[in-house]
Structure 1
Amino acid sequence: MADQASEEDILLAKRIIGAAERHDVPALKVLLKEGSANVQDPTATVATSPLHAAVASCGKVEDGKEAGDDAIKTVELLLENGAIWNDLNKEDETPGCIALRFGQKLIYQIMVEAGIRAELLFSKMEALGLGDNDIEVEEEDEEASEEQPAVKKQKVSEKEAQAIQQAVEEKVLDDVSLDNKAYLRSQLRYKPGILLDESDNAVMMDWETQIMQRHAETICPKPGLKVMNVGHGMGIVDTAIQTHDPAEHHIIEAHPQVHQRLREQGWYNKPNVHIHEGRWQDVLPTLVEQGVVLDGIYYDTFAEDYKALKEFFSEYVIQLLAPDGKFGWYNGLGADRQICYDIYTKVAEIDLYEAGFDTTWEDIDVPSGLHGSKQWEGTRRPYWTIDIYRLPVNTFVT
């Protein structure tokens, strides 16, 4: 707010933003010794960060001529000094979104790489139980962690831990997709072409059919294989798998209403189909103990984050998948924004490689006009706004 900032602070913010907008690298280096790369001018009609200003001033690419060296050095300098890759302006755009809209491919790639570095570092810090006060990191990555704050170690008694867990499990959420257990307690609605949770989130939609059919082909390319799907939903991928005549078809599903639908549609009586009721976190350890080996595995759950997917492939797929088997997963990571999709797709590829998988990608066009179409009417928000689905096929590194 303007009345909360001194005149000196406002002046410094204006100077930093102005230098960024002019791509004045020497001046910016001096100014950043006094101020932050994330300042905003509280007196401006339209608030903008230095990074947004630097990218926007590049303008649209004309005749194939992209931003010059000064613009690139300005963006890199801001990122090195803590500019946030996924900061949003009033138009709900990140700096990378602006670069993409203007056709500034070099700037866009710099933003993607910055996002990948930040997300990988945050993931590593979280895995180590470290927060900002526990480790020294580059300012860029410290700021990036604000999007997803690291889990910090806390010492609590077993009784206190149980009380905290009970409070979490009993909480009432406006959006049940934010918590898997809340989602599993929620009421689902099957409507023509769509499955909704009680917060009006689209769990699955029939426009995904072509994608699901292709996933089924990749994990079950010939008859007689042993395959598993985690997350039945509308049954699109499981129906597709059945067309490939698997010898064993395991389905893991946790939601009681989906269990009822499975019964109504006769899935429990299908030959070679094995329904496992429960969360995969509870079912898979038993399958591992039983020595189950699968030729194909597919993962498409709801109300779980990327950390759950990473646990799934790094802890369980490596134990259940045959040496020549194939693992696929629904790649909807950040699919409501192109830069997020590009970043999280690459992060997943890196994490998969560290877990022992090679990943190949197949690009599939989503239905034209999907973004902004009437298909999203009645839903809380569109979960897909980009043009290409990048389908992953994962095999063990040889």
Structure 2
Amino acid sequence: MKNSSSICENLRHLRIVNVVGARPNFMKMAPIIEAMNRYPERIRHILVHTGQHYDEKMSRAFFNDLGMPRPDIDLEVGSGSHAEQTARIMVEFEKVCLREKPDLVIVVGDVNSTMACTITAKKLGIRVAHVEAGLRSRDMNMPEEINRLCTDVLCDYLFTTDRFANENLRNEGVPEKKIFFVGNVMIDTLLKHREMASRLNLMDQWGLEPGKYATLTLHRPSNVDDRATLEGILEALSEIARDLPIVFPIHPRTRKMVEQFGLSHRLSNGNQVRGIWVTEPLGYLEFLHLNMNARMVLTDSGGLQEETTVLGVPCITLRENTERPITCEEGTNVIVGNRKENILAAARKVLQGGISQGKVPEKWDGKAAERIVKALLAVEDL
């Protein structure tokens, strides 16, 4: 474990440990750190990276893209089963908390690091704030749903993205004083970097034209761990790609399963006029550039449902449910599951111009992080 100097002991400051662990966490934490840095006389903070995602292209490169400082502490826990990973995070994060003695720990999202660091901090009597609280899929087969439920029960401050999340927490008996409707920090990051991403030259470099390709992400166990399911999805995508090339930055897990099941022939390598074009995982700015210029996005990710809603790009979500229903009710997202015929029907509807552009949900305005920091300073009486 790489160590850093301790947080300033000046009691006039709110001492905070910010936690990131997986790729989406970086996009959520970056604007929060930027907002905290506007209050140096009131806040002292450090950044802890659990190392839950440790591939350079899947995580560390995001610190460069988002202009975040390198982590003060890297727990370097790596991969493993859910139990192994959670246990290693808890053991190592406890050492951090005992040494740094923070007033508050901030966790984001719904990965194992989120839950593990919340439990560890609360058992040490440290207050915890959860950014992106209240999201619910109602699907207990999703590890993320378990992480969300455990985290929200324990946290002192729950920062929500939309009215559905607020209602979920109220229905679970959470006191109103713990709920803070602040908006979506993912969108803070997107809006800040949108112009920068637009200046990239990927269209010419990759031989693409705006609006004449799709992007794809695929990584959930329910989609890639069963051969028949994965093959059906790839068959649907291959049919779509006859009319619209698909750019697919492949997740390491998905690549492994494609090769294990002997399905590599369904994919292409290199710039193809038609087909599923496989690339290595991309940096944040590169992928934002591709998504903002795409005709449609196909995904089983959570964050992309939100980003496409703000970008006004049709999103086809290859899942049976979503913890972000606001993206369907107000945004550009449709939930289709992983059956071939449903995927094809949704894609054809997009190609025929049949999906609404939607609207941007309330408070998805680029100011969520500032609201979070101001709320914390108010409730902590600083």
Whether TM-score is above 0.5 comes out as no
Q: Which has the larger radius of gyration?
A: 1
The higher relative CO (CA closer than 8 Å, separation ≥ 6) is in 2
TM-score, normalised relative to structure 2: 0.30
